[in-house]
Structure 1
Amino acid sequence: MTTEVGHYENFPVASWLCPAAIRPAVVAIYHFARTADDIADEGAATAPERLDQLSAYRTALARCLASAAEPADAAQWPQVFGPLARAAERHRLPGDLLHDLLSAFEQDIRHTASGHVYADTAELLAYCRLSANPVGRLLLHLYGIHDDESLLQSDAVCSALQLINFWQDISVDHARGRHYLPADALQGQGLRLEEFSAGAPPEVQERCRQVVRRLCEEARALMLEGAPLARRIPGRAGWELRLVVQGGLRILDKIAAIDHRSWLQRPTVGKADLPLMLWRAVSGANLNPRQPAG
């Protein structure tokens, strides 16, 4: 599972660690999600226009899953649904997980248009169930892993990645009208969303920092809850997941290194971080919940 430098991806792109037998399916699922994300987020379309487009995209998905033999050019997005149809037929992909991803994009559009603020972490995790957890479950399906413990640990890793993405991207999301900082965390520090700014007084910025710190601690705990899955999965799949876990934890380290002020600066992971991530993937040195990150 790799990520593009400078473009954060919760969704794993088929890397050299991905077995050749499932690589086309992983790429097909990735392009399905990437295209839906572009519909929801790119360009100058209005919210109703984006929802209409996603509705058409969902119809194309239903046709794709219902009849893998249907010609690829019968859909508006043949470059997406041709490969996805082949993957669905070969691997019996769970269609409900693909539909859940679309529901997450639809929710984002509606919430952005309305200025919705999530009430608490529980509501954020309900969103992660649609936006992130299907990714892990689809990959486990491709690897033939279906036991309940693995699925729950996968959910923990994927939800943690989504939350980490939120706390990494506060400055980016706020500029686009997307707000994931939960209302209960803000209220606990007597804060408003607009106070997460460079111009806020020092005492206000300190309270903002405390909010981000607490949210990052929760995300780290959730990641560590799911991390044992990577050591139980054999072969390349396990090594891919170890690196995914370490990528998420490294972002948390970077947020901590800027004193949890990620509403002012967006931390990123790059090639220079890879040796440390590889060492930690092998040693598991930072996976002890009682051990502080460093």
Structure 2
Amino acid sequence: MGSDIVLMPLRGLSGVRSSFHYSFAFLPRSQRDALKAVYAFCRMTDDIADSPEVGELNRRVELLRKWREELESAFHGRSNYAVLNHLSAIAKRFNIPVMHFYDLLRGVEMDLTKNRYATFEELREYCTLVAASVGLMTLEIFGPRNARTREYAVNLGIALQLTNILRDVGIDGSYGRIYLPAEDLRRFGYPESDLLARKYTPQFRELMEFETARAEEYFQRARALLPAEDRRAMFAPKIMERIYFHTLLRIKQADYNVLDHEVSLPRFLQFLIALKYWVKQRLLGR
């Protein structure tokens, strides 16, 4: 594996100025350091699949295969990559099941071999692999008391990934990827060719309204599943939940037009959301 891959986590860590950064900011240092190790692994894995610096598809597939081998070496001995050795130490310290790391790899592999989803069931599987897996990786770092909190993490991960997909419909289309289920495009009479041409039509608006409502359902399901005794422990994921939910609201406020306009949440608003929740949690304990 070449040095171009070795440098990727450095870019990932220096670019933590995101919703992850603001959700981590108020945590104890030991938890922040553990979460950054997981985040570095996730960013590096994602970069292998998406970074233009990596090259053609065959090279991406080969690098991801080698990355999987290095991950296995880290868990069973010692990898050639410090980021994976550190990840292995964190996984052992916090008793993180290693299957979640392999699930993420499976999800990223899907991005290399699959650019259409026939049904929502297929899309939900993808979201579970690439996003819920991350929630489950970090769960033990937060130290929940109730086993039901696992379902909170899974549903929140799906909600976050659906929000990403809705926000990036136009961008993904420019790369030939369509995550919105084909069954939904047919249901609302919005052809794939219109999406690839970035045509904002009444049919697209209705499609996006439907998909946004579905994402909201996963946010609501996650909130309902979080046991009261774990609200304090899941402080950082709750901040993520609020930031992403506000992004979903922005999509609605833009009348679902993510094809002609970039929808995002400014960093200062992300910080204010995190600060507001921190104050609320400190004062009210929830």
TM-score, normalised to structure 1, is 0.81
1:94, 1:138 within 8 Å by CA — same for their partners in 2? yes
* Distance change >3 Å, CA 126–CA 197, structure 1 → 2: closer
Aligned equivalents of 2:75, 2:22: Cα separation in 1: 22
**Equivalent runs, 1:1-294 vs 2, <5 Å:** 15-42=24-51, 43=53, 45-67=55-77, 70=78, 74-75=79-80, 77-78=81-82, 80-111=83-114, 116-145=115-144, 147-196=146-195, 200=199, 205-228=201-224, 229=226, 232-235=229-232, 237-274=233-270, 275=272, 279=276
Report Cα offsets for 1:218-270 as digits up to 9, x if no partner. 001111110242854243x4332221111111111110111011122220011
Aligned equivalents of 1:6, 1:263: Cα separation in 2: 26
* 3-state DSSP of counterpart to 1:119: coil
Q: What residue identity is the alignment partner of 2:94?
A: H
Aligned equivalents of 1:220, 1:172: Cα separation in 2: 22
Report Cα offsets for 1:71-129 as digits up to 9, x if no partner. xxx51x33x11321321332232111001111111110111xxxx32112211111111
Aligned equivalents of 1:161, 1:210: Cα separation in 2: 21
Q: CA deviation at 1:48?
A: 1.6
Report Cα offsets for 1:159-197 as digits up to 9, x if no partner. 000000000001111111221011111001222122136
Aligned equivalents of 1:205, 1:5: Cα separation in 2: 35
Return 5+ residue gaps in structure 1 as ranges: 285-294
Which one is further off, 156-165 or 18-27? 18-27
Q: What residue identity is the alignment partner of 2:174?
A: A
Aligned equivalents of 1:272, 1:16: Cα separation in 2: 14
* Distance change >3 Å, CA 205–CA 277, structure 1 → 2: farther
Which one is further off, 86-95 or 184-193? 86-95
* 3-state DSSP of counterpart to 1:163: helix
* Distance change >3 Å, CA 198–CA 39, structure 1 → 2: closer
CA-based RMSD of the aligned residues comes to: 2.8
User: For residue 288 of structure 1, what is the aligned residue in structure 2?
Assistant: none
Return 5+ residue gaps in structure 2 as ranges: 1-12, 282-286
Q: CA deviation at 1:210?
A: 0.5
Q: What residue identity is the alignment partner of 1:16?
A: A
Aligned equivalents of 1:199, 1:91: Cα separation in 2: 45
* 3-state DSSP of counterpart to 1:256: helix
User: For residue 292 of structure 1, what is the aligned residue in structure 2?
Assistant: none
Number of aligned residue pairs: give it. Answer: 266
Q: What residue identity is the alignment partner of 1:66?
A: H
Aligned equivalents of 2:23, 2:85: Cα separation in 1: 18
2:117, 2:182 within 8 Å by CA — same for their partners in 1? yes
% identical aligned pairs:
24
* Distance change >3 Å, CA 276–CA 153, structure 1 → 2: closer
1:230, 1:242 within 8 Å by CA — same for their partners in 2? no
